[in-house]
Amino acid sequence: LPGRAAVLMPSAGYEGIAKFVADTMVEFGVNACPPLVVGVGVGTCVASSAKLAKRASLRKVGSRNPDPLVARMEEDLEKALNGIAIGPQGLSGSSSVLCVNIENMARHPSALGVGVAFGCWAHRRGTIAFDADMNYTLLSHKEAIL
């Protein structure tokens, strides 16, 4: 799915991050099968930010970052992105995103790396365990018949 990463001027701050995420949503969101899971990474460079964004996109829908300031930004971005009104399948409506998850890391004050990774509405997650003989157990889908 589409995504983007860049290094912003540090003075861009939270507003710059929010604008970058919103601009990315406007440009690519309709092509990513909304409503979307939006992962945002804030790091030191393009590479670390993209990796954090992907990690954020894999968090459970409805989970929040343990840092209250970051959790608040997740909520604010979710509200703003739903306000863009891309809607399900890009046909307009108020449900453009299912959630916004942010992961961040310590960074140098001279750089503000930001990454955005999208997951479509059918975004799935599961947990599997392998034993020494490579037999497996689907931990998250024990009732599934394969």
Residue 122 is predicted with a pLDDT of 76
Of 87 and 141, which is predicted with more confidence? Answer: 87
Residue 125 is predicted with a pLDDT of 73
Query: In which band, very low, low, confident or very high, does the pLDDT at 146 lie, cut at 50, 70 and 90?
Result: low
User: Is position 49 within any domain?
Assistant: yes
Residue 89 is predicted with a pLDDT of 83
Record the pTM.
0.85
User: Is position 146 within any domain?
Assistant: no
Q: What's the pLDDT tens digit per position in 24-67?
A: 999 988 888 889 999 999 999 999 999 999 999 999 888 999 99
Q: What's the pLDDT tens digit per position in 59-117?
A: 988 899 999 999 999 999 999 999 999 988 888 888 899 999 999 999 888 999 999 99
Nearest to 44 by CA among 104, 102, 107: 107
Mean per-residue pLDDT, 127-145: 83
Residue given tokens 């964004």 in the structure block:
53
Count of domains forming the chain: 1
Residue 90 is predicted with a pLDDT of 83
> Is a pLDDT exceeding 80 seen at residue 141?
no
User: Is position 60 within any domain?
Assistant: yes
> What does the buried/exposed string (b/e) look like for 9-45 if buried means 16 or more CB atoms within 10 Å of the residue's CB?
eeeeeeebbbebbbebbeebbbebbbbbbbbbbbbbb
Task: Tell how strand 112-119 and strand 36-43 pair up.
Answer: antiparallel
User: Is position 29 within any domain?
Assistant: yes
Mean per-residue pLDDT, 119-138: 86
Query: In which band, very low, low, confident or very high, does the pLDDT at 145 lie, cut at 50, 70 and 90?
Result: low
**26 within 8 A of 34, measured Cβ to Cβ:** no
Angstrom distance (rounded) from CA 77 to CA 133? 45
Residue 144 is predicted with a pLDDT of 60
In sequence order, the 6+-apart residues with CB closer than 8 A to the CB of 28 are 2, 3, 4, 118
Vertex 96: Cα angle to 8 and 43 (nearest 5): 25
| Radius of gyration in angstroms for the set of CA atoms belonging to the chain, rounded to a whole number | 17
Tell me which residue range forms the domain holding 80.
Answer: 3-138
